[in-house]
Every structure is written in C-alpha cells, then in structure tokens.
C-alpha cells in the first residue's frame, strides 16, 4: 500500500448528511498524505458521493457519475459512494463499468485502504459492517466556515412507508454524548459559530445507547461550548417533542427558537397509510404547545402530497391546516414512487398531474402566508448572521429563524465592513414573499 501523495476530488450530492460523510472521508485521506483538489481535472482519484432518496436525486447522481467518467482517462480512479450505490449496488456495477469501486454509506472505513492500494480492486468488492455506535471522526471543514452541521446519529428505526432510508443507512445509531461535545468544541475552535444538529430523527437521540431519549441533555452540554452562538435543530419528529425539550429550547439563548418538524400530512387516513407515529391531533397539539411556550418559535416543516390513497377530502384537510396554522417555513413534495419501499405496493396511486397540482396549490397558498408573516417583521430589529458580502456596504444574511441555504434571507446595508459569520442587529424596513430588507442599527 502507498499514498504516493495522491490528490482526490469529491463531488457531493444530496443532503447535509452526505456533506458530513464527505468531510469525514476527506479527513481520513488527508491523514494518509493525500491532497484535496478543488477540481476533478487535477485529481488522481475522483469520488462521487451520491443521493438515492427520490427519482430526481437518482437521475442527478447518475448524470454526475457519467460526467466524472468522461474525465477519467487512463490514469484516474473513479469511485462512487453514498446512498445510490448502497441502494442499487448490483445494477450500477453492471451498467457503469467505467467505475472502479462502488461503495455504500456504511463502507467509509474500508474505502481509504482500497483507494490507496496499488492492487486492482473489483467494483463490487466492498461491503462494510454497520456498527452499533456512531464513532467520533475527524472532518475537513470548508475554509472560512462559520456555520456547520453536526451529525449526532446515523440510520433510522422508523418504518415510514415512503422512505428507503432505513434500508440504505441501517438502524438508528447514536454518537456518544461526550463525542458529540468533543466534535462541537473542535468546530468552535475552527471558527464555527452556528451548529445545525442533524440525524434522521433527531428526537430519538440516545434511546439506543442510554435507554431513553436525551436530546435535551445533549443540548444543555452543547450550550456550554465556548464560541458556539447559535444551535439549530433539524428533523425533530412530532412524537419526540417532549415538555422537557420545549423547556430546554425556551430557556437557552443559544438554541434558536426554530424547529424543523417533518409532519408530511395532517389527515389521519394518510398518516396511518404512511405508517407515521403521529396523528392529526398530536401534530396540532404540538404546534399549539410550542407556540404557547416559545412565543417567537418559527416552525419549518415538509409535507408530502399525492401519497397512494390520498382522497380529495384528505388533501382539503391539509390545505385548511396550512391556511389556519400559518406555518413559518414550508416545503412540499409530490409523492415519488420508490421501489423497495412499502408504499410501492400500495393501491390507490394517483396520476402525476394530480400530485403536482396538489403540491402547487399548497405552495401558492404558502406564498401569501409567508409574505403576511414577513410584513409583521417590518420595524422590528433582529439578529442577523452575515452569509454574503456584496458591493458597497450591501450584505445578505439570515435571522435565527432561518437555516442556511434553505430558508429566507435578509438583504441589508451597513456602514461598517462586515465578514461572513458576523452577527449584527438589523432593523427590517421592507418585506417580500420570502425575503426581508433592512439596515444595521
């Protein structure tokens, strides 16, 4: 085995979990003497970290694999990893012979040895074992990072009918609390001010290791880390939002009053067909309780329309819920029929045009709601984190109530010279459908 100062390039697709995995892999390779390249043309090893969650993501991943294959030539090694190659390993080996190695999401420990070996490696030779605990790993953070994701667990124990994630990523495995805190400290030392906490189901954290969910305790420990100013919670399921968690969020200034709760639907008929753990009433009660106990809480959610068996009255109930509850941040997806999921064999499939029309109806309704909620912010002062420096004292940032690259932005002016990651007070002067305008005060 040799490292021979090889250079590598990673093309990452999909969600923040894939970004995280790529950062871990980069650290492992750099620890063995390799150099991270910022262009595929100059790299010896090309790595595509794929997404395979829904059809559009699969198509995008395959397009990226072929574009890398076109650059490969005689000397480069091409590796495909991530969700797509975990899910469709055998098919991909047959269909894309240009790829030297296919590995899945649980094979990152084996991958560096294979990449740096001088021996020929068969494309289908890798299959790692799923450990019981998610271990601590070093990561390579992008230069000048001030916001970063912190993955506290891997896998999922839920059996949602539309989702292939448990098959792809395996059962839920938490990272030990001391390892999560250690990682947060390292991130803070490297300039990270905002932690975005992720897992497949964040509220489940600790059940596998400690016998009960301990997300509140983890948050209390993370709040003690010097240098971290904002802590943002993503992927918190309705059935895991306890009074203790609400109290922890409400009583700690570092924890953003922002919660991402993927509810998917509100109709009991659809929720039960989806095999969700929530009911329409439990979701409504959770929203009410959050807003009563954390008055300025901003809730983000995602909804899935056009699920098999979704009746017109189910959709109308969802539409009425959106109209009535006025959700702060909302994304809507049309159902994607994925082989290997329980929903693939359900009856009551809906035509594409109906699914898309239902998605569009909710998003059109949400545009007006978002603008109405934004207008209420005019005249108020908010903490804003700078994301982009533009010309002549103009900046783009976001409030505590907005996740980076997902939610709303604030365009503002300042008489000072600011840098990405700076947190300033901005008075809002104008409001639009999704963005705000203001000036530093």
The annotated binding site is made up of 15, 51, 83, 156, 160, 163
Using the Cα atoms of residue 68, residue 71, residue 74 and residue 76 in order, give the sign of their dihedral: negative
- H/E segment holding residue 382: strand 381-389
Pick from 120, 123, 114: nearest CA to 92: 123
CB contact burial 281-306 (16+ within 10 A = b; e otherwise): ebbbebbeebeeebeebbbbbebbbb
CA–CA gap between residue 224 and residue 245 (Å, rounded): 17
Instruction: Please choose, from the candidates 75, 3, 28, 78, the residue with its C-alpha nearest in 3D space to the C-alpha of residue 48.
Output: 78
DSSP 345: G
Of the candidates 74, 90, 82, 141, the one whose C-alpha atom is nearest the C-alpha of residue 106 is 82
Sorted by sequence, the CB contacts under 8 Å of residue 413 that are 6+ apart come out as: 393, 394, 395, 439, 440
Angle between helices 215-223 and 177-189 (to 10 degrees): 30
Ranges of beta strands (E only) in 83-187 are 101-102, 147-151, 153-154, 173-174
- Give the annotated binding-site residues for [4Fe-4S] cluster: 15, 51, 83, 156, 160, 163
What whole-number distance in Å separates Cα of residue 141 and Cα of residue 157?
29
Structure tokens belonging to residue 35: 């150099």
Question: Is residue 299 a contact partner of residue 276, using CB atoms and an 8 Å limit?
Answer: no
Rounded Cα distance between 45 and 249, Å, is: 44
Q: Which residues contact 291 (CB under 8 A, 6 or more apart)?
A: 297
From the list 330, 335, 322, 342, the residue with the least C-alpha distance to 301 is 330
Pair 249, 296: CB distance under 8 Å: no
């Amino acid at each position: 085995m040799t490292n021979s100062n090889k250079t590598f390039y990673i093309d990452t697709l999909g969600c923040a979990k894939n970004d995280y995995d790529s950062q871990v892999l980069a650290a492992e390779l750099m620890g063995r003497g390799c150099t991270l390249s910022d262009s595929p043309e100059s790299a010896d090893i090309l790595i595509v970290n794929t997404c395979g969650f829904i059809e559009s993501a699969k198509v995008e991943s395959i397009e990226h694999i072929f574009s890398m294959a076109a650059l490969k030539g005689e000397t480069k090694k091409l590796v495909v990893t991530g969700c797509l190659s975990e899910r469709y390993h055998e098919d991909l080996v047959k269909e894309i012979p240009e790829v030297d190695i296919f590995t899945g999401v649980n094979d990152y420990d084996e991958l560096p040895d294979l990449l740096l070996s001088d021996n020929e490696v068969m494309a289908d030779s890798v299959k790692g074992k799923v450990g019981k605990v998610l271990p601590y790993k070093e990561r390579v953070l992008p230069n000048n990072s001030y916001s970063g994701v912190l993955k506290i667990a891997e896998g999922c124990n839920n059996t949602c009918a539309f989702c292939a994630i448990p098959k792809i990523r395996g059962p839920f495995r938490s990272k030990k609390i001391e390892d999560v805190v250690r990682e947060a400290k390292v991130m803070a030392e490297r300039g990270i001010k905002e932690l975005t906490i992720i897992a497949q189901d964040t509220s489940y954290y600790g059940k596998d290791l400690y016998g009960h969910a301990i997300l509140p305790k983890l948050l209390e420990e993370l709040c003690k880390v010097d240098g971290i100013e904002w802590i943002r919670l993503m992927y918190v399921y309705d059935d895991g939002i306890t009074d203790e968690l609400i109290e922890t969020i409400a009583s700690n200034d570092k924890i953003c009053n922002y919660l991402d709760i993927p509810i998917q639907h509100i109709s009991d008929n659809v929720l039960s067909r989806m095999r969700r753990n929530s009911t329409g009433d439990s979701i409504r009660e959770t929203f009410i309780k959050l807003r009563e106990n954390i008055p300025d809480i901003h809730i983000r959610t995602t909804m899935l329309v056009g699920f098999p068996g979704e009746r017109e009255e189910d959709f109308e109930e969802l539409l009425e819920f959106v109209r009535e509850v006025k959700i702060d941040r909302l994304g809507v997806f049309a159902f994607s029929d994925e082989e290997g999921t329980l929903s693939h064999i359900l009856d009551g499939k809906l035509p594409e045009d109906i699914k898309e029309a239902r998605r569009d109806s909710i998003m059109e309704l949400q545009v007006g709601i978002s603008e109405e909620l934004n207008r209420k912010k005019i005249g108020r002062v908010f903490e804003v984190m700078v994301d982009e420096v533009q010309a002549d004292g103009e900046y783009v940032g976001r409030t505590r109530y907005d996740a980076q690259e997902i939610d709303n932005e604030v365009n503002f002016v300042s008489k000072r010279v600011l840098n990405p990651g700076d947190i300033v007070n901005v008075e809002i002067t104008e409001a639009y459908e999704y963005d705000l305008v203001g000036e530093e005060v």
